[in-house]
A and B are shown apart, each in its own frame.
Chain A
């Protein structure tokens, strides 16, 4: 799953370490999420969204839905 965590982090000038401490996870987890190696749980996804004060769907991109827009109609 693609995400815009890196973009939001850069906009607010927050390091991966600061974000990790703020969310109570390891820096390695932040790296893995940013690189798309690990999809966070719903709970962590909401926590990340709250941290950046944005909606979850602004942060995470549902690639399957993007590939098949007919399903959403």
Chain B
């Protein structure tokens, strides 16, 4: 398979997964999207191995390493901030030190797994954006878009 076809396949898979997510919510079946996501990832990794003209060498590995380290060095701070904020929200309520005084909460308004999942999806999105940005930065730094007269 050609590289561009592979990228197109990733896009189509993403759209299909959004549809499955919608269906999963509609049917209240979390297993549906989980299974679909797992299968999609396995299939995409398997297809990736057959993609032509994917030559990895030490320079591309260096770019990946630098991007990964830079992403991690920022992501752990963001993850810590969100986690600390969540812990404060979770544990501050029983102590009652609030200014201004909180409004009475409606039933079932606590921190649920769904909200936790959304938060995690947001963090994962941040991680992908950070990695993409750093990947482009280091690729440029190590001459990925340099052209030559040949």
Contacts and interface: CB of A to CB of B under 8 A. Distances in A.
Contact of B60 (A16, A26, A35): A26
Interface in B133-150: 141-144, 146-148, 150
B29 interface: no
A26 B55 contact: yes
- SS class, residues of chain B in contact with chain A: loop
B102 to A, nearest CB: 56
Contact of B148 (A16, A25, A38): A16
Contacts of B142: 32, 37-38
Interface size class of A (residues with CB under 8 A): 10 to 19
Interface size class of B (residues with CB under 8 A): 10 to 19
B66 to A, nearest CB: 12
Interface of A: 15-17, 24-26, 28-29, 31-32, 34-35, 37-38, 40-41, 43-44
Interface of B: 55, 57-60, 62, 141-144, 146-148, 150
Closest 8 pairs between A and B when the two form their complex, measured CB to CB: A32-B143, A37-B143, A25-B57, A29-B59, A38-B142, A26-B55, A31-B148, A31-B146
Contacts of A44: 58
A35 B59 contact: no
B146 A29 contact: no
